Amino acid sequence: MTRIVCKFGGTSLADANQLRKVEAIVRGDARRRIVVPSAPGKRTKNEPKITDLLYLCHEMAEMQTDFSSPFSTIRERFLGIESELGLDVGMNDILDEFRAQLQQGVSRDFVASRGECFNGRIVAALLEAEFVDPAKCVVIRANGSVDPQTYQRLGEAMADESRTYVMPGFYGSDTHGNLKTFSRGGSDISGAIAARAAMADLYENWTDVSGMLMADPRIVPNPAPMIEVTYREIRELSYMGASVFHDEAILPVREVGIPICIKNTNDPAAPGTSIVTRLSPEVDKSTEIAGIAGKRGFSMVCLDKSLMNKEVGFAYRLLGIFERRGISVEHCPSSIDGINVIVDAAALGEQSDGVIDEINRVLQPDRVEIEEDLALIAIVGEGMARSVGIAAKVFAALRDARVNVRVINQGASELNIIVGVGPDDFERASRALYSAFISSGRVSEAPTA
């Protein structure tokens, strides 16, 4: 039997009604044998997150102050879900024990993990599944990465393909056996780990949207959804500001070629977005780009020096200045007598004068200055390398929108074209580029506006 791992986000598990949807989804496909739940999400915009309430309880307990108020809210959420589903998980006793642990003193990571742990108990009871404690199987190194022994441990714990398993997301244990959480949003990592450990055929990431969009909906009205996107494209879009899901969640499944599908718990029939190693032939032939993403907040250090290309090690010495100051270089477009270094404006910060002084002293350029307030936009797609006229379409769209292009950069892989524009042109440029490519983009239907 093939197996599918399903990770459900907080909005998918916010209340009993949402949990019934989850039950229907899991029971609707016999291959869905491994479920990774998050903590219950917010039911309303102003409602506090369970994890935030847990952190508050821990802080108050450490200060030996009364944490009854936030704890009561947590208790009401879990007991309410248990009661409405007609289950007997023993949540009252579990919560009493947890309250005693808070009073006795437990780690911040232990407390934060209880939202997923308690919800996992409820989901396991609802699905009549076996509960798998990640604290016994998932090993997290000091740097936050996953220890390889995790995959064998977890694979053995979920070895029976005829059974259904529930493993809470977000946490495991360190190499000494102490409970440890991933960074916020880490349930996506847990889902990917479970998928790899089980060598699943598919990792489904269930959320409150029907897949990924070709552009930022805050900038482009009603952007079209993507049917399919590659791991490489996702990395580029995510780096340039696209809101997808936890970056590190891609790595465990990417390394072994397990596809991801982002699905909507509230609209399970929608196709969602598949993240794959290679595009299917139908999609590969019918598309030029995967999507458009961008962000503001860059600075560009611009240097000119005659015969710069004849100076061996010029770029090495230049980039060394940024390395010594702990400033990561984002892009480095150049010409025969000029080179530009694009960095995060916040990282450059108050070091800008020092960087200029050191460049003048070490490299003696003819000119050096800093351009502030640069926005970068990336047009990303595997098919761009095989499509004639992509660059012409990009710059014609920007010309027609009366956008001045300040930087042009394209990598050797031809996976993307990056343009730099002024911050006032950022949104207009993004909309113009989207309009230029939407007719040939990787979409399931035309946009509604």
Same structural domain, 296 and 203: no
Pairing of strands 202-207, 4-8: parallel
DSSP letter (8 states) at residue 129? -
Domain termination residue (choose one: 182, 208, 234): 208
Instruction: Provide the pLDDT for residue 246.
Output: 63
Give the SS3 label for residue 33. Answer: strand
In a domain, 225, yes or no: no
The CATH number linked to 412 is: 3.30.2130.10
Structural contact between residues 398 and 432, judged by C-beta atoms closer than 8 angstroms: yes
325, 193: one domain: no
For the chain, what is the domain count? Answer: 2
- DSSP run (H or E) holding 421: strand 416-421
Please check whether residue 449 lies inside any domain of the structure: no
pLDDT for res 410: 80
The token pair that represents 134 in the structure block: 């990640």
Question: How crowded is residue 144: how many other Cβ atoms within 10 Å of its Cβ?
Answer: 13
Q: In 234-260, which positions are buried (b, 16+ CB within 10 angstroms) versus exposed (e)?
A: bbbbbebbbebbbebbbbbbbeeebbb
Residue 291: half-sphere exposure toward Cβ, Cα within 13 Å: 33
- Which residue in 57, 160, 164 sits closest to 101, CA to CA? 57
Domain with 57, as residue range(s), is 4-208
**Side-chain half-sphere exposure of 205, counting CA atoms within 13 A:** 27
Distance between CA atoms of residues 331 and 236, nearest Å: 13
Both 307 and 179 in one domain: the answer is: no
Q: Give 373's contacts (C-beta < 8 A, 6+ positions apart).
A: 296, 299, 345, 422, 423
Q: Are 223 and 238 in contact (CB under 8 A)?
A: no
Domain end, chosen from 208, 231, 252, is at: 208
Q: Whole-prediction pTM value? A: 0.84
Residue at 240 is within a domain? no
Q: How many Cα atoms are found within 13 Å in the side-chain-facing hemisphere of 251?
A: 9
Contact 175, 195 (CB under 8 A): no
> What's the CA angle centered on 360, arms 356 and 361, to 5 degrees?
115
Domain shared by 158 and 298, yes or no: no
Q: Report if residue 270 sits inside a domain.
A: no
CA-closest candidate to residue 3, choices 233, 119, 164? 164
Tell me, rounded to whole angstroms, the distance of Cα 126 from its chain centroid. Answer: 29
Burial 263-299 (b: 16+ CB within 10 A, else e): bbbeebeeebbbbbeebeeebeeebbbbbbbbbeebb
Q: Is residue 141 within 8 Å of 174, Cβ to Cβ?
A: yes
Neighbour count for residue 412 (Cβ, 10 Å): 6
Instruction: Mark whether 296 and 204 lie in a shared domain.
Output: no
Exposed (0-12), middle (13-18) or buried (19+): which is 183, by Cβ within 10 Å? exposed
Same domain, 200 and 311: no
Q: What is the pLDDT of residue 157?
A: 97
Query: Which residues sit opposite 5 in a β-bridge?
Result: 34, 203
pLDDT tens string for the chain (449 positions)?
A: 689 999 999 999 999 999 999 999 999 999 999 999 999 999 999 999 999 999 999 999 999 999 999 999 999 999 999 999 999 999 999 999 999 999 999 999 999 999 999 999 999 999 999 999 999 999 999 988 899 999 999 999 999 999 999 999 999 999 999 999 997 667 899 999 999 999 999 999 999 988 888 999 999 998 988 889 999 898 888 877 776 666 678 889 999 999 999 999 999 999 999 999 998 877 655 567 889 999 999 999 999 999 998 999 999 999 999 999 999 999 898 889 999 999 999 999 999 999 999 999 999 999 999 998 899 999 999 877 777 888 899 999 999 999 999 988 886 667 889 999 999 999 999 999 999 988 555 554 433 33
> How buried is residue 102: exposed, middle or buried, by Cβ count under 10 Å (0-12/13-18/19+)?
buried
Is residue 234 a part of any domain in this protein? no
Residue 141 confidence (pLDDT): 94
Distance of CA 300 to the CA centre of its chain: 27
Does residue 274 belong to any structural domain of this protein? Answer: no
Q: Alpha-carbon distance 79 to 90, whole Å?
A: 9
Q: What is the pLDDT of residue 446?
A: 38
Burial of 307 per CB tally in 10 Å (0-12, 13-18, 19+): exposed
* Domain shared by 178 and 304, yes or no: no
Length of the chain: 449
148 and 13 part of one domain: yes
The domain that holds 132 is classified in CATH as: 3.40.1160.10
Provide the residue type at 27 as one letter: R
Give domain status of residue 9, yes or no: yes
| Per-residue pLDDT at 224 | 86
Asked if residue 253 belongs to a domain, the reply is no
Q: Do 44 and 164 reside in the same domain of the chain?
A: yes
Q: Where are the alpha helices (DSSP H) in 9-67?
A: 16-27, 50-62
Task: Say whether both 195 and 299 belong to one domain.
Answer: no
Q: What pLDDT score does 288 carry?
A: 77
Q: Do 199 and 295 lie in a common domain?
A: no
DSSP 146: B
Last residue of a domain, one of 146, 174, 208: 208
